[in-house]
Amino acid sequence: MSESIKIITTNRKARHEYHISETVEAGLVLQGTEVKALREGRANLQDAFCKVEGDEMYLLGAHISPYSHGNLNNHDPVRPRKLLLHRRELGKWKKASEQKGFTIIPLKLYFKNGIAKVEIGMARGKKLYDKRADIAERDTDRHLDRTLKQY
C-alpha cells in the first residue's frame, strides 16, 4: 500500500530560526470547513507553536483561512487546535518542552492518505552567529555547485 502525501504548507522560517532536534507526526482535530480550506491550500504556520496543557497538546497561532464557500458557521481562523499524539509521546514531549530554551513548533502541514497531519519539532532558538554561519555555509555550497557545473 503506497502512501500519498500532499503537502499543504511548510514553516520555512522554522529551520532558519531554530535548531530542530527531533520531529514527530501528529494528527489534527479539525472542523469540516477547516478541512475544505486546507484542501484549497489556505493555511499559514508562520507564527504557530504548540503548547502542552494537562494531558493534551494544542496547536496555537496557526492560521487556516475561512472556507471560500462557507456560510455563517465558518470556523475561527486562529482557534486553538488539538493535536493527536500517543500518551507516551505526549509525556516525552511535555518533559522536553519544560526544559529551558526548548519549544515545540509545527514544521509541515500535509494530507497523508486523505487525513490532515502536522509535523512538529522540538526546537531550540538559534543565536545570530548561528544564523550567519548557516547563511555562509549555504553560500559556499551554492558557489561550489556553480564551479562544478562549469567544469
What pLDDT is recorded for position 137? 87
Residue 66's pLDDT is 87
pLDDT tier, 87 (very low <50, low <70, confident <90, very high otherwise) = very high
CATH superfamily, region 5-126: Small protein B (2.40.280.10)
Q: Residue 57 has what pLDDT?
A: 93
CB 64 within 8 A of CB 77: yes
Residues 2-38 have pLDDT tens digits of 678 888 999 888 888 888 888 999 999 988 888 888 8
The per-residue pLDDT for 121 is: 92
Does residue 131 register a pLDDT over 90? no
- DSSP labels for 91-139? HHHHHHHHSTTEEEEEEEEEEETTEEEEEEEEEEEPPHHHHHHHHHHHH
pLDDT at 1 over 60: no
* 112 vs 70, higher pLDDT: 112
Cell numbers representing residue 99 in the block: 526544559
Cα four-point dihedral sign 42, 27, 100, 14: negative
